Chains A and B, each alone.
Chain A
Amino acid sequence: MIRTLQQLLGLGLAVGLAARPVAGADLRDPYFGEALYHAYQGQYFDALERLDTELAQYRSLDEPELDTLHYHINGAEFSVGDFELDYRMHQRAGRAIKAVLEGAVDEAVRNEAAFRLARIQFQKDQLDDALHALARIEGTVPGEIRDDVEFLRANIYMATGRPGEAVAVLKPLQSDESLAGFAAYNLGIALLQDGHPQEAIEQLDKAGRLAADDRTSLAIRDKSNLVLGSMLFESGDFERAKQSLDRIRVEGPFSNQALLRAGWAEASAQQYDRALVPWNILVDREPTDVAVQEAMLAVPRAYASLNLNGRAAITYGRALELFNKQIERVDASIGSIREGQFLKALIREESRQDNDWVIRLRSLPEAPETYYLMELMASHDFQTALHNYLDLEDLKARLMAWKTSLDAFDDVIRLRGQNYEPLLPEVDAQFRELDSRMRLRLEQRKHLGERLQAMLTAPRPDYLATAEEQIAGDRIALIGKQLGDSDGPESLALRQRAARLSGALTWRLETEYHERLTAAHLHLNELNAQVDALTRQYDAFVRTRQAATHSYVGYDTQIEGLRERVGDALQRVDTVMARQGQMIETVAIDQLNARRERLAAQQTQARYGVADSYDRAARAEPGAGGR
């Protein structure tokens, strides 16, 4: 009993450690939101993969403050730590938070980072580091974590064997409603460890009477009553022990132990008939439960103590039957585990539909190996091993899918190559021709623009002559040249006519110059719009052309590298999974063998009890009138 009591005390250290990711205020980074979406569904691999990628990209930016993740960067770093813990990656957990702690952040953020780091280190059993992290908290502590910090500090003190200091920390926390059940229970345990049993009893009594409505608070209240009941039982205060045990819910997780101990409390006070009340409730419960099996023997012993030997014989007989059956079940479980059925049951999809999948395993059909799973799950290490096995199974499925994806990528690349390679040379040739024509036009446009610009300061009407006018001007000049310097009257008349025509042309060019210059500018602007559209098309073509090449060139090395890494990882997963599975099976079989030994001992006791009861009944019959 003392051993059990010592074990009971452990729970206070485990509370208050479930962390939830932090999104902060309004979400601005969709990928961080996506990581949270996965984390909230317990898909921590996906959550980590998203967030790791985002954080890596963020850290590689030249101006990270322009990135949307910047608004959530502290929350993201905190969340990575939480996800890593949830995904049982304790070695990595805390690194990101340490980075926040070392960075230039304000006091409140630094304090929260220190708290979160301490919590991770506490969970990793690095108690000195956890205390060191808490020591870094100074100045303003965010209100919402103030009590949590102290509660964690108290837990660390208790884990490091400093219950006196834990008491001092826990006392002021009793007024925090949200911590009430845990703080009250832990204070009781700290007082007990600090050598104040009487105060501990009073404190646990308070914790056992606290109002509670959610199942977590109800469970911790039950727990307080169970510990209190056990302590009072140890101290011989059976009546009070019974009162405390009676407060435990009949259907709660501690009810079987409570019923068993309530019975023992009555039996120790020689109230065997009253002891039979809880024990008779208990014997109808799940027969694989230790408390139920113990009650199976306790009931006939109580009848025997009441000299109801006939009843004792019958109930010993029932116990014997139960132990025989349970031994068969344990044997079946061992056989089933040896055949690999346990591991198969573990990875069955329906066994993982809810958070309590481990408990649900018991109710799976055709899985006798899971009957005693509660006991197997007793060890944290065993539980971790089970989860790791499932994680490896999940990783294996992912790696297999990626292997297929890489093959598909190869296909995509090959098909794209087959499609583009015959097309691209012709497209490129056409493009080169269009490109040279376009460059020529652009050059011409540039030249025109410069000319018009120059004409604003140095007018050149001849530049704005129409083609017709230019031809006419040339012809007049030619006629003038052909007429030469002849002094004949005809030649003179013709020269005058040519001069008049030339004058008329010049007059027109000079007088219409401004109008023509304005029109030329307008046309040039219109041309600009056309050139812009052409440039956009040109850029789009260049991008598409590049994308075409990028869609199938340059992936070979990366894909080959990834294929190799996926293959290596698959091999490692297979190896470790086999070892992990074997370890789980071995430990499970060891535990079941231990359980079998106990059942065998109980079976012997029951067998002896049956015989003894019949003897006593037979001896009592003539004188006692058939009692």
Chain B
Amino acid sequence: MRMNIRSIPFARLLCSLALLLCLGSAHGGEQKNDQQRMRGLDEEVQEIKSDVLRIAEELRRLEEKLLYPSGTQLAIFVALVKGDQMRLDAVRLQIDGQLVAHYIYSSKELEALRKGGVQRIYVGNVATGDHQLEVLVDGKLEGGADFSRTEHFALRKEVKPKLVGLTLAGPTSGNAPIAIGEW
């Protein structure tokens, strides 16, 4: 996925327009002072962001250790097949007959998946050994027809964390509608 450095958000153009049209004011000196104060504040905000990001990292590690220890951790990720045009509406997961996730996608989330993002739909704990995973996918095809598919998979949980990837595709893409893989 190569970035497109030419795309300018429209709002940015509008803001640039506003910049162009900004009134010449008699408060040049004041404006400069305001500008300097704003930049000073901006630097402080950046420092706070860095600090909070560091806290978030540590908190995440603590959370994993405390709530999802590696011995029992099971994480399930959802991705879409590249270029697939199915409109994914919802994914439902059951582990050993228990509903563990039922996710309904917004257009923003769907777009992020289409661009190649991967969603961690579930993280939880299961005992080591064999388990059954049921995946139900609801969506709409390009023509507007409803699409629903359910698949069952056998999982074996070892001592280390298990990362399971579900790759979804519409039935017309030539790919399996729900493919499971291990990351």
Contact = CB atoms under 8 A, between A and B. Distances in A.
A305 interface: no
Contact of A375 (B13, B18, B44): B18
A27 B79 contact: yes
A22 B120 contact: no
B45 A378 contact: no
B151 to A, nearest CB: 19
A516 interface: no
Contact of B66 (A395, A412, A566, A573): A412
B5 interface: yes
B42 A388 contact: yes
A356 interface: yes
A34 B116 CA distance: 9
A10 B5 contact: no
B146 to A, nearest CB: 25
B119 A37 contact: yes
B43 A91 contact: yes
B113 A378 contact: no
Contacts of A48: 53
B77 A148 contact: no
Interface stretch (A205-213, A238-246, A587-595, A609-617): A587-595
B2 A375 contact: no
Contacts of B49: 45, 87, 89, 391, 395
Given A18-B7, A45-B53, A53-B57, A7 B20 contact: yes
Contact of A402 (B44, B59, B66): B59
B26 interface: yes
B157 to A, nearest CB: 12
A34 B117 contact: yes
Interface string B52-72: 110111111111011101011
A580 B159 contact: no
B104 interface: no
Contacts of A344: none
B132 interface: no
A363 interface: no
- For chain A, the bracket of interface size reads 35 or more
Contact of A37 (B23, B27, B112): B112
Interface string B63-103: 10111010110010101000000000000000000000000
A562 interface: yes
Contacts of A586: 34
Contacts of A378: 15, 18-19, 21-22
Nearest to B8: A216
B18 A377 contact: yes
Interface in A306-341: none
Among B49, B109, B113, residue most surrounded by chain A Cβ atoms (within 10 Å):
B49
A409 interface: yes
Given A49-B53, A392-B48, A562-B58, A359 B12 contact: no
Main secondary structure of the interface of B (DSSP, over half): helix
Nearest to B7: A18
A415 interface: no
Contacts of A21: 1, 3
A126 interface: no
A89 B62 contact: no
A109 interface: no
A38 interface: yes
Nearest to B15: A377
A383 B117 contact: no
A598 interface: yes
A38 B117 contact: yes
B145 interface: no
A41 B21 contact: no
A215 B13 CA distance: 10
A92 B51 CA distance: 12
A565 B10 contact: no
A182 B50 CA distance: 35
B21 A590 contact: no
Contacts of B128: 540
A219 B8 CA distance: 10
A358 B60 CA distance: 32
Nearest to A256: B21
Interface string A574-588: 001001100100110
A18 B5 contact: yes
Among B20, B37, B56, B69, residue most surrounded by chain A Cβ atoms (within 10 Å):
B20
Contact of A598 (B15, B23, B72, B120): B23
B111 interface: yes
A33 B117 contact: yes
A119 interface: yes
Contact of B52 (A88, A216, A219, A569): A569
A19 interface: yes
A14 B77 contact: no
Interface in A159-186: 178-179, 182
B62 A555 contact: yes
Among B6, B58, B60, residue most surrounded by chain A Cβ atoms (within 10 Å):
B6
Interface stretch (A268-276, A423-431, A543-551, A618-626): A543-551
Contacts of B19: 7, 10, 378-380
A525 interface: no
**Closest 10 pairs (CB-CB, A-B):** A33-B118, A37-B117, A378-B22, A20-B3, A40-B112, A594-B25, A378-B18, A388-B45, A49-B56, A36-B117
15 contacts: A7-B20, A10-B20, A19-B5, A41-B109, A119-B5, A253-B17, A257-B20, A378-B19, A381-B42, A540-B128, A569-B48, A569-B51, A583-B41, A587-B34, A594-B26
Given A11-B16, A402-B59, A547-B71, 17 more contacts: A3-B24, A16-B6, A18-B9, A30-B77, A30-B120, A30-B183, A40-B112, A41-B108, A49-B60, A88-B45, A253-B17, A374-B21, A378-B21, A388-B41, A399-B55, A576-B44, A580-B41
Interface of A: 3-4, 7-8, 10-11, 14-24, 27-30, 33-34, 36-41, 45, 48-49, 52-53, 56, 68, 82, 87-92, 119, 144, 148, 178-179, 182, 215-216, 219-220, 223, 253-254, 257, 290-291, 355-356, 358-359, 374-375, 377-385, 388, 391-392, 395, 398-399, 402, 405, 409, 412-413, 540, 543, 547, 550-551, 555, 558-559, 562, 565-566, 569, 572-573, 576, 579-580, 583, 586-587, 590-591, 594-595, 597-598
